[in-house]
């Protein structure tokens, strides 16, 4: 499956952005989807994940209550709505997919990343 992330940009602290990730070449409705980010100088980290079989999404503690992951299987797209953005959210954001069920586990397919910059 190929993943194409978009929607990044520059936003002031307290603002919002919505990232999108379009999937192609696979059966989107059967993939667990996730968002990760790489903050400069740090390891890539899990941000959010959503199952293909329903149930509650998973979030990193640092984004709970501010970010929302959702998916539209008819459009083969997963979204990350980011509200109340903070400068520490500045990172390259990646979408990922896996056939595994664990939302915080290993992902097999990765998009190219989209830059999010939050100014103070």
Residue 29's pLDDT is 87
Closest CA to 34 of 59, 11, 55, 12: 59
Mean pLDDT of successive 10-residue segments in the chain (120 residues)?
97 98 91 96 96 90 98 95 98 96 93 96
Residue 39's pLDDT is 93
């Amino acid at each position: 499956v190929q993943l194409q992330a978009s929607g990044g940009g520059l936003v002031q602290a307290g603002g919002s952005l919505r990232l999108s990730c379009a999937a192609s070449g696979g059966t989107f409705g059967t993939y667990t989807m996730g968002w990760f980010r790489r903050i400069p100088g740090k390891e890539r980290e899990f941000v959010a994940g959503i199952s293909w079989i329903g149930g509650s999404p998973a979030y990193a503690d640092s984004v709970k209550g501010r970010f929302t992951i959702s998916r539209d299987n008819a459009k083969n797209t997963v979204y990350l709505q980011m509200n109340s953005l903070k400068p520490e959210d500045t990172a390259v954001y990646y979408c990922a997919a896996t056939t595994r069920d664990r939302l915080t586990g290993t992902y097999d397919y990765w998009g190219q990343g989209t830059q999010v910059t939050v100014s103070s």
